[in-house]
Amino acid sequence: MLEFLLFCAALAVPCLAQLPRVPDIEAQRAAMKKLSFLIGKWSGEARLQRRPGEPLEPVQTEDAQYKLDGLVPMIRGHGRNKSDGKIALQAFTIVSYDDEAGAHRMRAYHACLSRRRRSTWRLS
């Protein structure tokens, strides 16, 4: 009986040793082209509600560029106070595409710098 179990285990070992999946780079690049409308420099007025009764209304500027030969869009932004022009908000975002799941993934980092308070959060 022990010999039979060892024989079965020996047959099962090659099935367990699977090669890692190779990402489909062209599918990722094609998916990123769908986000081309984001690429460029743009700005405008923004309105954020940090806490009840504490709105922030900066002039927001965004700079979006493709990185890694079109595989990853990177978006950098900053908001300036209308009153004094000081930076009140900074943000950094990267977008990727998971071709196995068929979904875009966004990772954003944010720092609110107004009123000497620093708060950071991450969305993933």
The helix (run of H) or strand (run of E) holding residue 16 is helix 2-16
Lowest-pLDDT range, 4-18, 27-41, 71-85? 4-18
Give the residue from 52, 69, 59, 64 showing the smallest Cα distance to 108. Answer: 64
Residue 114 lies in a domain: yes
Residue 119 lies in a domain: yes
* Model confidence band, residue 123 (pLDDT cutoffs 50, 70, 90): very low
Per-residue pLDDT tens for 41-89? 999 988 877 677 777 788 999 999 999 989 999 999 998 988 888 888 8
Domain extent for 65: 24-123
Please state the domain count of the chain: 1
Residue 18 lies in a domain: no
pLDDT of 26 over the 60 cut: yes
* Model confidence band, residue 6 (pLDDT cutoffs 50, 70, 90): low
Residue 17 lies in a domain: no
Give the residue from 113, 56, 52, 117 showing the smallest Cα distance to 82. Answer: 56
Residue 12 lies in a domain: no
Residue 7 lies in a domain: no
Residues 60/77, Cβ–Cβ less than 8 Å: yes
Q: Rounded to two decimals, what is the model's pTM?
A: 0.68
DSSP 40-106: EEEEEE--EEEETTEEE--EEEEEEEEETTTTEEEEEEEEE-TTT--EEEEEEEEEEEETTTTEEEE
Residue 59 lies in a domain: yes
Residue 71 lies in a domain: yes
